[in-house]
Amino acid sequence: MPSATTADEPGVTSKPFSWRFTAPLYIGSALNPINSSMIATALVPIATDLGVPIGQTASLVTALYLASAIAQPTAGKVAAVFGARRVFLVGIILVLLGGVLGGVSQNLAMVLIARVLIGLGTSCAYPSAMMLIQRRAAAAGLAKPPGSVLGGLQIAGLATAALGLPIGGVLVETAGWRWVFLVNVPVALIALAAALIWIPRDSSIQTRRSVRGVLSSIDLTGIVGFGLAMSALLAFVFSLQNPNWLLLVAAVLLFAALTFWELRAASPFLDVRLLVRNSALTRTYLRYALVALCVYVVMYGITQWMEAARGMSALSAGLLLLPMSVISGIVVFPISRRNLVRGPVIVAAIASLAGSVGVLFLTSSTSILWIVFITVIFGIVLGTASSGNQLALYTQAPPEQLGVASGLFRTFGYIGSIASSAITGIVFHTDATDSGVHTIGLIMIGVSLVAIAFTVFDRTLRTLNRTESPA
């Protein structure tokens, strides 16, 4: 069955990546990380307003993580069959619906559904954007990856994550928790209008298809199996304070069954043979997950400690993360523009180790300047890791599977984020103390050393292009 991702794009050779083309892609890709962190400032107000225990609102965080981890590669697979622009537009519409529903919710169930809709919708943006950029580059006849465009996508998609906390804090304190959802409405409308006007249409798709043919082309069984396996795995990770080993057993069995199915599927959702054959791509996923774990520990765990041990407000703690966001954005652009891979990922792993050592010296009486210094280091980590690993992914993944590969890239990032949440929850089980922060620092050091090993000894990184992009 032919793919719907190839389209005629007249007039792209002169200036293929104008701001009109990239603006909706960047806006859409920023919605997921911002929504992921923005909710943290609204959990207590939501519990108070809806009259539910604060512990129950944690499901709002879990819901978006789980929906995103499953939906990112799924969106890539569906986009490969039906068209990247179509999937991008559907995603924006889901964000719009989730924003409205969250803004009028009268109970926790409605808020939870809104979060799932936002998670599913925002997950469509990044894999679709990667496919649209690749399609545009091919139509323009570019020989090298459009590094500056990929860098902009990375800034929008990851460097903005730290902005969610201060934005959420301002919205909650000035307008109420419902605006953590409603703020998505105007942004989604702008992205929807821009995409409809400026992103070229996908090619036509066959209208007469059997249901069986459609299900086979997207491998619905593989998608469902992946969703069940990931759900079991993430549920186990979230239960680590009191481990539910049955969930781990279920996850292992489900992943085994998924592998058995995908090895025999005509159009596999998760190409197991590719992951085994293309070990360089698999290492890129693992390397990114390890570094993401350390970054998110700082973003959420250290923030939690600042609020508990130093008595900071959520807004003040969030503002301390702004240097991380700013530095990561500054770092991404020159790296991406020059299409650098090996150097940045080595810097990311080493900087993660240095920042993790710095965490060992944090105490409740530590100067704010030292905390800011650590966030700056992890801003460098975030910028170098995201840009270097994304370009490695763009180069290592087969073009026809870039959508799913990009989605899996984000999924591994979410696995790192969820693992960081589990570690923080275990260490800070009773209270966020200085000794707990030091324990987290030791864990981060161990994770960083593994990341260094996955980077320094990966010979395939030396063969990737290190040239300036024409874009």
Q: In the chain, what is the straight-line distance between the N-terminal and C-terminal CA atoms, in Å?
A: 32
Regarding whether 250 and 151 lie in a shared domain, the answer is no
Regarding whether 274 and 231 lie in a shared domain, the answer is no
Residue among 323, 389, 387, 301 nearest 163 (CA): 323
Q: Give the Cα separation of 102 and 25 in Å (integer).
A: 24
DSSP conformational letter for 121 = H
Measured CA distances, 148 to 159, 381, 387 (Å): 15, 19, 10
The domain in which residue 34 lies consists of: 19-200+214-219+265-463
Q: 239 φ, ψ to 5°?
A: -95, 10
SS3 call for 174: helix
Regarding whether 167 and 297 lie in a shared domain, the answer is yes
Number of folded domains in the chain? 2
Query: Mean pLDDT throughout 445-467?
Result: 83
In a domain, 407, yes or no: yes
Tens of pLDDT along 208-232?
556 666 667 888 899 999 999 988 9
DSSP conformational letter for 379 = H
DSSP conformational letter for 160 = T
Regarding whether 270 and 254 lie in a shared domain, the answer is no
Tens of pLDDT along 60-82?
877 888 888 889 999 999 998 88
Regarding whether 317 and 244 lie in a shared domain, the answer is no
Regarding whether 390 and 246 lie in a shared domain, the answer is no
Residue 394 tokens read as 């763009």
Return the percentage of the chain with pLDDT > 90, whole number. 42
Tens of pLDDT along 364-418?
888 889 999 999 999 999 999 989 998 899 989 888 889 899 999 988 988 888 8
Q: Give the Cα separation of 15 and 422 in Å (integer).
A: 46
Q: Give the Cα separation of 140 and 11 in Å (integer).
A: 9
Regarding whether 132 and 185 lie in a shared domain, the answer is yes
Q: Give the Cα separation of 184 and 186 in Å (integer).
A: 6
Question: pLDDT-based confidence at 111, cuts 50/70/90?
Answer: very high
**CB–CB of 95/31 below 8 Å?**
yes
Residue 125: Cβ-neighbour burial (10 angstroms; 0-12, 13-18, 19+): buried
Measured CA distances, 98 to 57, 93, 182, 185 (Å): 17, 9, 9, 9
Regarding whether 236 and 106 lie in a shared domain, the answer is no
In a domain, 445, yes or no: yes
Tens of pLDDT along 78-103?
998 889 999 999 999 999 999 999 99
DSSP string, 129-170: HHHHHHHHHHHHT-SS--HHHHHHHHIIIIITGGGHHHHHHH
Query: Is residue 270's pLDDT more than 60?
Result: yes
Query: Mean pLDDT throughout 285-300?
Result: 90
Regarding whether 315 and 169 lie in a shared domain, the answer is yes
In a domain, 257, yes or no: yes
In a domain, 14, yes or no: no
In a domain, 58, yes or no: yes
Tens of pLDDT along 125-170?
999 999 999 999 988 888 788 888 988 888 887 656 667 777 888 8
In a domain, 29, yes or no: yes
Tens of pLDDT along 26-48?
999 999 888 987 887 788 889 88
Q: Give the Cα separation of 335 and 380 in Å (integer).
A: 11
Question: pLDDT-based confidence at 467, cuts 50/70/90?
Answer: very low
Regarding whether 234 and 277 lie in a shared domain, the answer is no
pLDDT of residue 122: 94
In a domain, 315, yes or no: yes
CATH classification of the domain holding 161: 1.20.1250.20
**CB–CB of 191/129 below 8 Å?**
no
Regarding whether 406 and 420 lie in a shared domain, the answer is yes
Residue 95 tokens read as 């964000």
Regarding whether 75 and 34 lie in a shared domain, the answer is yes
In a domain, 13, yes or no: no
**CB–CB of 239/247 below 8 Å?**
yes
Measured CA distances, 172 to 46, 64, 165, 185 (Å): 10, 19, 10, 16
